[in-house]
Structure 1
Amino acid sequence: MKVKKTSANCFLSKKIGYAFLFAFYLVLNSGNAQSIDSLADTIEKIKPSVVGVGTFMPKRSPRALFLGTGFVVGGGNLVVTNAHVIPETLDAQHLEEVAVFYRKGKDEKIVTAKQIAVDKEHDLAILQLSEGQLPPFKLGNASAVREGQLYAFTGYPMGMMLGLYPVTHRGIISSITPTIIPLISAGQLNEKLMKRLQAPYLVFQLDATAYPGNSGSPLYNTDSGEVVGVINKVFIQEGKENAISKPSGITYAIPINHLENLLHEIKLH
């Protein structure tokens, strides 16, 4: 009888142990499910604030030329993107203008815009829409960003070839690192890199791959949707990966505090 009792107790202990493990598994997966649901809700909320940026020319074919991604801030009539996305010159003779592309319901819209501020050092530009307003992003706190935290960015990695359907990627902050690294030889230096060597600043490095069309995309908190950085696919890599023969798929973002400074300069923040 004692043997049977011991066996019964052992069986009961195993059942309790399995039940505990199963409950623990459910708790873990419940947290993951909530995290995924939270990101899904955030994406739905921020998508109307993400736009395409390029130029528009009435008699050109195609009339709209996509150059990068942007996002809406301020009162809803300002768009942020990378400075390198905006052309240095426009074909005024053929009425070429900077333009913003966005989706409203099932319709794709085009509205012209003008550049009202630029910070070439941090590769940022602010455009003002010629008409209308769109839902703006809330600006987050870049100084609160920590390595290992999960963030997302939304934009148009492949341009508008398949229509204005924004694409979202997510990744952790793998490093908070200077914009430029030492070069192998002085022969690799050019005027732009010389300037950046004199005043490097910190940027966010992500373990997610961005594409040229992602330049200007917002990097945002997956829960709150607050933007903490601006994805940069070209400008930073020129400095950080100059010593690499085959540039990596690493993605960088300019911290949002540099945008806040630019907004303060034009008294719009």
Structure 2
Amino acid sequence: MIWRYALFLAVVGLAALSSAAHAQSLADTLETIRPSVVSVGTLRPVKRVGTKSPPIRFMGTGFVVGSGEYVITNAHVLPKDLDRDNDEVLVVFSGRGKQAKPHKVVVVETDAVHDVALLRLEDRRLPALTLSTPGFIREGSEVAFTGFPLGMVLGLYPVTNKTIVSAITPFVMPALSSNLLTPAQIKRLNTPFEVYQLDAIAYPGNSGSPVYHSDSGEVIGIVNSVFVKESKEGVLAKPSAITYAIPVRYILDLLRRAER
């Protein structure tokens, strides 16, 4: 009986150690994720007399890919125009808090249909994330995303959410009546594709955040709430707080186009 009890304790101990190791895996993964997650915005060197906007505009989140020279974000995150008269430039900020540093970037490629954009760093390279293969991962898989919710309100401190893939769902849900479809939805019905639905809430500023395996850090998609909700939930007076993610295959497509 004693040896059976000892064996039972050993099994329980191993299970506890395994559980602890699993619980720590995301913490370990974050050590490699955080240096690659950047905030996307604009910068004017000096706030000039007569300008109403602040010298820094925060637009959303992005992350470094490739060999460290490229940044991926959502196309809708990019500013529609820059104040060239006051030397405003497109930048990404690496680091956190008061140690955040701006880096000038230029737009290389955009994909308006899937709402992804590829930027290139002009002054240096940063640590890059590993992209997963193009196929979908299974529903129920544990993932995480890291970004800058609410931007300058909370400061440039990356926030991580752990969640699961709750569904793989069509980008545009067919409406019961064509009268319920918006012009944007009708246009996108011509190019249907599927997206991830996540069991988490994303806030303004999270757009462009990498969605990755919590254990390996491989990126499987990019957070997109605004653009997808415009299509999927356009018929609702009060859209839900569901978070969606564009699959990694469209990021890989942009990189291939840029490297031709």
In the other structure, the counterpart of 1:248 is 240
CA distance in 2, matches of 1:245, 1:35: 41
2:179 aligned partner: 187
Residue 91 of structure 1: CA displacement? 1.7
Query: Residue type matched to 2:18 in 1?
Result: G
Indicate yes or no: 2:105 matched with 1:118. Answer: no
RMSD, aligned CA: 2.2
Q: Separation in 2 of the partners of 1:188 and 1:89?
A: 32
What's the offset of the Cα at 1:18?
Answer: 9.4
Q: Deviations over 1:4-60 (max 9, x none)?
A: xxxxxxxx59x946972x555434332221112111111011100000001112326
| Map of 2:139 onto structure 1 | 147
Q: Where in structure 2 are the equivalents of 1:20-169 lying within 5 Å?
A: 20=8, 22-58=9-45, 59=47, 62-103=54-95, 107-169=99-161
Moved over 6 A (4+): none
AA partner of residue 212 (structure 2):
Y
Contact 2:104 2:122 in 1 (8 A): yes
144 and 232 in structure 1: CA distance in 2 versus 1, 3 angstrom threshold: closer
| Rg larger for | 1
CA contact (8 A) 1:142 1:229 kept: no
Identity of aligned residues (%): 47
Asked if 1 retains the 8 angstrom alpha-carbon contact of 2:97 and 2:157, the reply is no
The answer to whether the 8 Å contact 1:79/1:126 transfers is: yes
Deviation (angstroms), 1:98: 1.1
TM-score by length of 2: 0.90
Structure 2, unpaired ranges of 5+: none
- Work out whether 1:206 is the aligned partner of 2:198: yes
**What is the CA distance between 1:184 and its match in structure 2?**
4.7
Say whether residues 1:257 and 2:249 are aligned partners. Answer: yes
* Structure 1 residue ranges without an equivalent (≥5): 1-11
State the aligned residue count.
Answer: 255
Q: Is the 8 A contact 1:184 1:243 kept in 2?
A: no
